[in-house]
Amino acid sequence: MAIAKLFIANRGEIAVRIIHAAQKLGITTIQAYSEADADMMAVRMADASVCIGPAPAKDSYLNIEKVVAAAKDAEADAVHPGYGFLAESPDFARAVVDAGMIFVGPSADTIERMGDKVSARQAAQAAGVPVVPGSKDRIESVDDAARIAAEVGYPVMVKAAAGGGGRGIRIANTEEELRTLAPQAQAEATAAFGDGGLYVERSIQSPRHIEVQIVGDGSRAVHFFERECSLQRRRQKVWEEAGAECLDDATRDHLCQTAVALAEAVNYCGAGTLEYLYDDKTKEFFFIEMNTRIQVEHPVTEMITGYDLVQEMLLVCGGAPLSMSQSDIKKTGHAIEVRLNAEDPFMQFLPFPGTVERLQIPEGAGIRFDHFMYEGYQIPPFYDSLIGKLIVHGTDRADAIAKIAAALNDLEIGGLKTTAPLHQALAADAEVASGNFHTQWLEPWLAAGNLTPENL
């Protein structure tokens, strides 16, 4: 049954994005909003809108009962969760289905399975996806730790099996270090958790973050190539690219094919992303987790492949088989997305929720701006600071960097502090141009004073 009436259980730019996709498919849209979001752009665009509660997300966008009841009352036949909020809640997916509606995403069971680190790792291994090599079970003795470490290769990370919160974690570069550090880790684990069991795994130093976009219809799955999102601050991606130039063709093929195998093994329906750490030196990649939803950075993949991933999600979740085969999906050029947050990059990224006084959006071939602003719009302080995503498509990576620099120059968001200056500095940086970075690169770069009002 194709989706006819879609309830959007999200806000901000992704709600706008979903409405655009639904409208192109002729689907009627009903937008959920909190009391703080009555004037947001998605409310203005949707065919109808429903207030689901007060400003705090726990009373509105995170309240499963209220969201499901509002969707049901609006006679929606499907619910799109977007990203964040309830997008990866198996309870929400189950409640939507129990109320007789389609959840635009995989089944609650799949969300649950891939959301659990241990079962996701098992599913990945079963599908032939490499995971970070480590001990299969808990280790009780230092000799056992040394034996496993020799198998997985140094440097290794020694963790408390009962752990959490970073306590009891040690990194050993040699067996000698391991024999010194493991007893310390064991003592700390015993003190903190009353359990001296250890876990040993390979420590991936300065990895890159690589991810593969997949879409499945419940039986068949395809990939839309990879993205690189290594430029991160506080584990939040700030700048994303498609594809990842650090990969050679053989590695890329292996990465994408095993991602499809995993998606098919779990009967995946909808759009999803498999995230990996990639070690430049050894060319090894290791599965870390699967995100069972559309991601913030999906537009870079759309730019290089020409597919509308949100439309594809709506089609397959409405029961249609995938409309394309793997060989139909080609990529051209290189795409970059930068996340614009309402934050002051010169003041420790302090949030800056203000009023959009002036808005000038860059236009042209290969330029896209996904956002939810209009002049006079007051950005509410209650939610995420993401206000827009500037995306460009270039003939190659150098062209894409030149395009993002030019587009950032043409972008004007008056009345707010935004992270645009950070992206201008990154676009002008020689190491960014050479692609020589990893997930631990941006924070030291910032700490070293590479971003000041003077050097822009």
Size of interface with another protein, in residues (CB under 8 A): 13
Interface with another protein, residue 382, by CB under 8 A: yes
Burial letters for 69-101: b for 16+ Cβ neighbours within 10 Å, e otherwise?
A: ebbeebebbbbbbbbbbbbbbbebbbbbeeeeb
Shortest reach from residue 384's CB to another protein, in Å:
6
**Gap between the Cα atoms of 211 and 58, Å rounded:** 30
**Gap between the Cα atoms of 341 and 418, Å rounded:** 5
Nearer to another protein, 62 or 320 (CB): 62
* C-beta of residue 186 within 8 angstroms of C-beta of residue 223: no
Interface with another protein, residue 383, by CB under 8 A: yes
Q: Which of 106, 374, 367 is nearest to 214 (CA)?
A: 106
Q: Which of 399, 426, 446 is nearest to 340 (CA)?
A: 426
Q: Which of residues 200-229 bind another protein (CB under 8 A)?
A: none
Beta strand spans in 218-267 (E): 221-233, 236-242
Interacting span for another protein (CB under 8 A) from 98-106, 197-205, 383-391, 402-410: 383-391
- Selected binder of another protein within 16, 36, 43, 67 (CB under 8 A): 36
Nearer to another protein, 77 or 88 (CB): 88
Q: Which residue in the block uniquely carries the two structure tokens 């959490």?
A: 164
Shortest reach from residue 57's CB to another protein, in Å:
9
Q: Which of 233, 240, 320 is nearest to 275 (CA)?
A: 240
Helix (H, G, I), strand (E, B) or coil at 212: strand
For the annotated catalytic residues, the residue numbers are: 293
Shortest reach from residue 234's CB to another protein, in Å:
10
Interacting span for another protein (CB under 8 A) from 108-116, 266-274, 367-375, 382-390: 382-390
Helix (H, G, I), strand (E, B) or coil at 353: coil
**Torsional class of 166: left (φ above 0), alpha (ψ -120 to 50), beta (otherwise):** left
Interface with another protein, residue 197, by CB under 8 A: no
Q: Report the alpha-carbon angle 395-400-403, nearest 5.
A: 115
Q: Which of residues 44-63 bind another protein (CB under 8 A)?
A: 55-56
Nearer to another protein, 357 or 363 (CB): 357
x-marked contacts with another protein along 344-363 as a string, rule CB under 8 A: ------xx-x----------
Interacting span for another protein (CB under 8 A) from 139-147, 177-185, 275-283, 342-350: 342-350
- Selected binder of another protein within 384, 405, 415, 433 (CB under 8 A): 384
